[in-house]
Amino acid sequence: MTIRLMQGNEACVEGALRAGMKFYAGYPITPSTEIAEISAIELPKVGGKFIQMEDEISSMGAVIGASLTGLKSMTATSGPGFSLKQENLGYGIISEVPCVVVNVQRGGPSTGLPTSPAQGDIMQAKWGTHGDHATIALYPNSVREIYDMTIRAFNLSEKYRTPVILLLDEIIGHMRERIEIPEDDEIEIIDRKKPTCSPDEYKAYEVKEGDIVPEMADFGTGYRYHVTGLVHDETGFPAGATKAEALIRRLIDKIEDNKDDICTYEEYMLDDADIAIVAFGCTSRSAKSAIKSLRGEGYKVGMFRPITIWPSPEKQLEKLSKRVKRIIVVEMNDGQYFLEVDRIAGKNTLVEKYGRLNGEIIPPHEIISVVKEAYNG
Amino acid sequence: MKYKELRLSGSGGQGLITGGIILAVAALQDGLNAIQSQSYGPEARGGASKAEVIISEEDIDYPKVEKSDILLSLTQLSCDKYLCDLKAGGTLIIDESVETPDRDDITIYKLPILDTATNKLKKSMVANIVALGVINKITNLVSEESLEQAVIERVPKGTEELNKSALYEGYGLIN
């Protein structure tokens, strides 16, 4: 058992390497820069490649290109860079290229608050790129969970052939915390399924019976196929409107139909709770601290923490809405995830929001006041 | 339950973040939990800078220090800035160059930390390690073995002996 003091951003790289990352392209930006720095040091040691590109969109392009050759690839950025990646992120979604995009968030819009934390990219993670699509986004709340969720982000991207977004908080990304590095038998590594047919028989975008996604051949191994951002048929060539419905539906359904596999969450002291706090990332740590104090005073309050933030754990939130009197969504923004929780739970219970925009973590005593007010006021 | 919040303050370049990391590493070595964090931003470039450490026997939920149990201030500016967030009953450790503040609800130690590094050890940059020696002698947060091991592990190669001396000079300031 190895125990270390590790920074959150460092745990992201360690997890990525453990998952098999062999390529990183990026353009450094606070508060994500350590992820680029450490990748640049560590990747050459495992036969991987690091490249600093001229900007964020080209980084995203390089990551997609590298993944098509069979390398597990990652990029990291913050809000302003995440905005710039959106065009190629959509390209990765429609062309079904596995990769991991880390966004260590900061205050926005635009260059916003360079060194301060915020949770303002919740909706951008879901809808930043245009067109109908499903998104997988994970949101860890500790250094160990960053390690685990980075591995999981790679696994989900390989399994569902889609870019996976890892949303981090500046606070967890920059702090150092105790981490127990898991043993090999405690972690699972998933690799994309490759074709067994000959290159002549290979149809790049055909989903075989019993599979979720098409088999993916590495470029450079003799399998030639067309990759495009246009709507395409099972050969990969542009196909126009007649194929659009089937393709886009398949891309959405491969994620939405597998929520039971994709969605993870934590329930804390909810068994007898009257009030449920919904929180994620660093805010969930404030909430947990607040709940411990409130429980000591007899308040029946608990927490639901989505770890997979997209797709949202709809079934679980709906169940929760039928047994609590009130849900308070606490987040460091103006109520972005509140919109999703209210959509799911609003018909069954009262859903309220509590947020802030000042670049500071919400401290436990504020959550305590909000809950007491809800109880007594 | 042991739950201590520390704030190490001074000016940028005094090695306070390294100091905080060393203390956290030593705490893990003792089987405790620890979180080290710092603030980035304009205040990290000159002016008052700080590193924060939380050490606990149990899980640490909220990762930030609000009110500290222990405050180290190596400069007047940092003492002025962070003193108000030192809990009543808390411990203040200041360099001898810092004016003794007017608070009777805390314990104050005023010691020649910077002078010991600069004049006795002839290296001003080991003031952070002298300070760690002082802090741990007063508070017994971590074991001496773990602290020494963490210092050796986390200081630049080739400076281990110098930093070990700094740690012991720090211990020696408290008697």
Q: Are residues A24 and A169 in the same domain?
A: yes
For A198-227, how does the pLDDT look when each residue is reduced to its tens digit (9 = 90+)?
A: 999 999 999 999 999 999 999 999 999 999
Could you tell me which residues are beta bridge partners of residue A275? A301, A326
Does residue A246 sit within a domain?
no
- As for how many domains chain B has, the answer is 1
Average pLDDT over residues B74-86: 94
Distance from chain centroid for Cα A320 = 23
Asked if B33's CB is within 8 angstroms of A363's CB, the reply is no
Neighbour tally for A52: CB within 10 Å: 12
HEC string of chain A?
CEEEEEEHHHHHHHHHHHHCEEEEEECCCCCCHHHHHHHHHHHHHHCCEEEECCCHHHHHHHHHHHHHCCCEEEEEECHHHHHHHHHHHHHHHHCCCCEEEEEEECECCCCCECCCCCCCCHHHHHHCCCCCCCCEEECCCCHHHHHHHHHHHHHHHHHHCCEEEEEEEHHHHHCEEEEEECCHHHCCCCCCCCCCCCCCCCCCCCCCCCCCCCCCCCCCCCCCCCCCCCCECCCCCECCHHHHHHHHHHHHHHHHCCHHHHCCEEEECCCCCCEEEECCCHHHHHHHHHHHHHHHCCCCEEEEEECEEECCCHHHHHHHHCCCCEEEEEECCCCHHHHHHHHHHCCCCEEEEEECCCCCCCCHHHHHHHHHHHHHC
Range of the domain at A276: 267-376
Which residue's structure tokens are 């450790």?
Answer: B93
The per-residue pLDDT for B46 is 60
From B21, B61, B66, residue closest to A288, measured CB to CB: B61
pTM: 0.96
For A329-357, how does the pLDDT look when each residue is reduced to its tens digit (9 = 90+)?
A: 999 999 999 999 999 999 999 999 999 99
Neighbour tally for A373: CB within 10 Å: 11
Q: Is B25 on the interface with A (CB under 8 A)?
A: yes
Reply yes or no on whether the pLDDT at B44 is more than 70.
no
Q: Is B149 on the interface with A (CB under 8 A)?
A: no
Bond before A195 cis per omega within 30 degrees = no
Q: Is B16 on the interface with A (CB under 8 A)?
A: no
Q: Is B33 on the interface with A (CB under 8 A)?
A: yes
Does residue A131 sit within a domain?
yes
CB pairs under 8 A between A and B: 57
Q: How confident is the model at residue B12 (pLDDT cuts 50, 70, 90)?
A: confident
The answer to whether the CB of A158 falls within 8 A of the CB of A72 is yes
Return the minimum-mean-pLDDT range out of A166-170, A318-322, B38-42, B100-104.
B38-42
For B16-25, how does the pLDDT look when each residue is reduced to its tens digit (9 = 90+)?
A: 999 999 999 9
Does residue A282 sit within a domain?
yes
Q: How confident is the model at residue B59 (pLDDT cuts 50, 70, 90)?
A: very high
Does residue A199 sit within a domain?
no
Cβ contacts of A31 on chain B, cutoff 8 Å = 40
Q: How confident is the model at residue B38 (pLDDT cuts 50, 70, 90)?
A: confident
Does residue A230 sit within a domain?
no
For B151-175, how does the pLDDT look when each residue is reduced to its tens digit (9 = 90+)?
A: 999 999 999 999 999 999 999 999 7
Asked if B66's CB is within 8 angstroms of A172's CB, the reply is no
Return the minimum-mean-pLDDT range out of A61-70, A104-113, B91-100.
A104-113
C-alpha angle A292-A295-A300 in degrees, rounded to nearest 5? 125
State the best of B25, B61, B146 to mutate against chain A, taking most chain A CBs within 10 Å.
Answer: B61
- Which strands form A72-77's sheet, in the order they lie side by side? A49-52, A21-26, A72-77, A99-105, A163-169, A136-138, A308-310
Q: Are residues A27 and A137 in the same domain?
A: yes
Alpha carbon of B146: minimum distance to chain A alpha carbons (Å): 14
Q: Are residues A142 and A39 in the same domain?
A: yes
Does residue A320 sit within a domain?
yes
Asked if A115's CB is within 8 angstroms of B40's CB, the reply is yes
Q: Is B122 on the interface with A (CB under 8 A)?
A: no
Reply yes or no on whether the pLDDT at B43 is more than 70.
no
Q: Are residues A144 and A293 in the same domain?
A: no
From B24, B60, B64, residue closest to A5, measured CB to CB: B24
Q: Is the dihedral of CA A111, A113, A114, A120 positive or negative?
A: negative
Cβ contacts of B37 on chain A, cutoff 8 Å = 171, 174-176
Asked if A285's CB is within 8 angstroms of B28's CB, the reply is no
The per-residue pLDDT for A292 is 98
Q: Can you give the CATH number for the domain in which A330 is found?
A: 3.40.50.920
- Angstrom distance (rounded) from CA A193 to CA A212: 10
Distance from chain centroid for Cα B53 = 9
Asked if A178's CB is within 8 angstroms of B21's CB, the reply is no
Asked if B21's CB is within 8 angstroms of A31's CB, the reply is no
Does residue A232 sit within a domain?
no
Cβ contacts of A285 on chain B, cutoff 8 Å = 61-63
The per-residue pLDDT for B45 is 55
The answer to whether the CB of A197 falls within 8 A of the CB of A18 is no
Q: Is B64 on the interface with A (CB under 8 A)?
A: yes
Q: Which residue of A has its CA nearest to B67?
A: A363
Cβ contacts of B36 on chain A, cutoff 8 Å = 5, 175-177
- Angstrom distance (rounded) from CA A334 to CA B85: 29
For A52-90, how does the pLDDT look when each residue is reduced to its tens digit (9 = 90+)?
A: 999 999 999 999 999 999 999 999 999 999 999 999 999
Mapping DSSP to helix (H, G, I), strand (E, B) and coil, where does residue B73 land? strand
The per-residue pLDDT for B66 is 87
Q: Is B143 on the interface with A (CB under 8 A)?
A: no
Please report, for residues A297, A337, A369, the alpha-carbon distance to residue A301 in angstroms, rounded to integers and kept in the order given.
11, 20, 13
C-alpha angle B115-B6-A149 in degrees, rounded to nearest 5? 125
Q: Is B21 on the interface with A (CB under 8 A)?
A: yes
Alpha carbon of B31: minimum distance to chain A alpha carbons (Å): 10
Q: Can you give the CATH number for the domain in which A33 is found?
A: 3.40.50.970
The per-residue pLDDT for A317 is 98
Q: Is B1 on the interface with A (CB under 8 A)?
A: no
Q: Is B56 on the interface with A (CB under 8 A)?
A: no
Range of the domain at B163: 3-172
Q: Which residue of B has its CA nearest to A114?
A: B41
- Angstrom distance (rounded) from CA A255 to CA A102: 19
Q: Is B67 on the interface with A (CB under 8 A)?
A: no
Last residue of a domain, one of A168, A186, A204: A186
Cβ contacts of A5 on chain B, cutoff 8 Å = 21, 24-25, 28, 34, 36
Could you tell me which residues are beta bridge partners of residue A180? A3
Reply yes or no on whether the pLDDT at B1 is more than 70.
no
Does residue A68 sit within a domain?
yes
Nearest CA to A340 out of A321, A357, A324 is that of A321
Q: Is B63 on the interface with A (CB under 8 A)?
A: yes
Cβ contacts of A171 on chain B, cutoff 8 Å = 37, 63-64
Asked if A5's CB is within 8 angstroms of B21's CB, the reply is yes
- As for how many domains chain A has, the answer is 2
Reply yes or no on whether the pLDDT at B42 is more than 60.
no
Average pLDDT over residues A33-48: 98
Tokens of A372: 């007491």
Q: Can you give the CATH number for the domain in which B65 is found?
A: 3.40.920.10
